[in-house]
């Protein structure tokens, strides 16, 4: 794991980052099985205590309690495989609802670069081209380290008005309140690719709207649509493209020479991943939920109410700890 990619160090604490999907800095999350503590040792930080899971309810069990009374809207649900997953798992049906304005989005042909140097120069040239044509450019990177590196390359190539957008905590909170112009370049992690309105002024709209450069391969169709969806919002014009570094791709993709081929392989991998999730829900998650329900019944039958009596409270806390350790062992055994 690398600082600035999978995690940050903030106030002498390790803070995980969901860099693969959302770019969100997860302030209230800790990794399990000692991983968090090993990273604290790596950076010479105070070691936090190991956490033990004693209460368990999956998203699946939570939503099932609504018994077919769930309704939702999403602009980026994914392809038919995600629809089938929702239908099989929750008994939900899906339908397409037309937008209130016609979409004016254009996806430019993706570019596959053979080396990191070519990849960087291609990104810089694309940014130059579209800013000179009067458009705002949003460059979305896979992690914070890449944002910083590309920003430096752009500055050395005399590109100005660069705004970095990498944090959802105390930094960059006012991004949605800004209006960007023709010379503005936003270099961001995937935090800008999900639920963020990049507002541009009228001159940018007339020039073609926001142009989005995605510098990595999104993990699935849903994430890709979210990223591309920063452009051409609310009926405005806009466009986007993928610029990929072939040397950064894993072995499933390197033998292919076009972005379209790589995207198709990625979609096939995602379909297999969803099948594996469905299997895990049945074989592991359900087991944990059933065990937790039995534990709750045990507590009710033995009247462990956790009252203010110190002796009773200590007994209950000790029981929770034993239960947590046993649940972890049983869970690992079930996975094997």
Q: State residue 194's pLDDT score.
A: 76
Question: What pLDDT was estimated at residue 200?
Answer: 92
Question: In terms of CATH, what superfamily is 1-52?
Answer: SecA, preprotein cross-linking domain (3.90.1440.10)
DSSP H helical segments within 112-237, as ranges? Answer: 116-132, 144-156, 202-207, 221-228
Decide if 233 contacts 218 (C-beta within 8 A): no
Q: Where are the alpha helices (DSSP H) in 133-258?
A: 144-156, 202-207, 221-228
Q: What pLDDT score was predicted for residue 169?
A: 65
Kindly state the tokens that stand for 65: 């309690």
Domain positions in the chain: 1-52, 104-248, 270-335
- The answer to whether the predicted template modeling score (pTM) of the entire model surpasses 0.75 is yes
Mean pLDDT per 10-residue interval, the chain, length 336 residues: 91 90 85 92 93 80 82 78 81 81 92 94 95 95 93 91 81 71 91 83 94 93 88 91 92 86 91 86 80 87 64 83 82 52
Residues 80-99 pLDDT 10s = 778 888 888 877 788 888 88
Closest CA to 51 of 73, 68, 31: 31
| Cβ–Cβ under 8 Å, residues 131 and 181 | no
Q: What class, spelled out in words, does domain 104-248 have in CATH?
A: alpha beta
pLDDT at 202: 94
**Over the stretch 118-156, which tens digit does the pLDDT of each residue have?**
999 999 999 999 999 999 999 999 999 999 999 999 999
């Amino acid at each position: 794991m690398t600082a600035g990619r999978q995690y940050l160090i903030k106030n002498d604490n390790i803070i995980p980052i969901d860099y693969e999907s959302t770019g969100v800095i997860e302030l209230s999350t800790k990794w399990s099985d000692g991983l968090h503590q090993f990273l604290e040792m790596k950076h010479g930080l105070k070691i936090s205590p190991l956490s033990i899971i004693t209460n368990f309810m999956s998203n699946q069990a939570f939503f099932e309690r609504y018994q077919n009374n769930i309704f939702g809207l999403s602009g980026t649900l994914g392809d038919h495989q995600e629809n089938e997953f929702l239908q099989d798992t929750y008994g939900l049906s899906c339908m397409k609802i037309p937008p209130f304005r016609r979409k004016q989005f254009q996806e430019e042909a993706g570019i596959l670069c053979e080396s990191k140097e070519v990849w960087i120069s291609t990104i810089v040239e694309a940014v130059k081209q579209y800013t000179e044509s009067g458009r705002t450019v949003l460059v979305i990177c896979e992690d914070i380290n890449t944002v910083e590196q590309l920003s430096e390359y752009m500055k050395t190539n005399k590109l100005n008005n660069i705004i970095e957008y990498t944090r959802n905590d105390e930094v960059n909170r006012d991004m949605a309140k800004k209006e960007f112009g023709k010379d503005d370049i936003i270099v961001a992690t995937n935090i800008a690719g999900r639920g963020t309105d990049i507002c541009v002024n009228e001159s940018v709209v007339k020039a073609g709207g926001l142009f989005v450069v995605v510098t990595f391969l999104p993990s699935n169709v849903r994430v890709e649509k979210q990223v591309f969806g920063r452009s051409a919002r609310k009926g405005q014009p806009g466009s986007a493209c993928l610029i990929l570094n072939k040397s950064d791709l894993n072995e499933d993709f390197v033998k292919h020479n076009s972005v379209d081929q790589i995207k198709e392989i990625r979609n096939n991998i995602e379909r297999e991943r969803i099948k594996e999730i469905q299997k895990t829900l049945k074989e592991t998650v359900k087991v944990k939920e059933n065990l937790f329900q039995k534990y709750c019944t045990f507590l009710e039958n033995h009247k462990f109410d956790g009252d203010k009596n110190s002796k009773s409270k200590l007994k209950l806390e000790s029981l929770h700890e034993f239960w947590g350790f046993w649940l972890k062992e049983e869970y690992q055994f079930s996975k094997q």
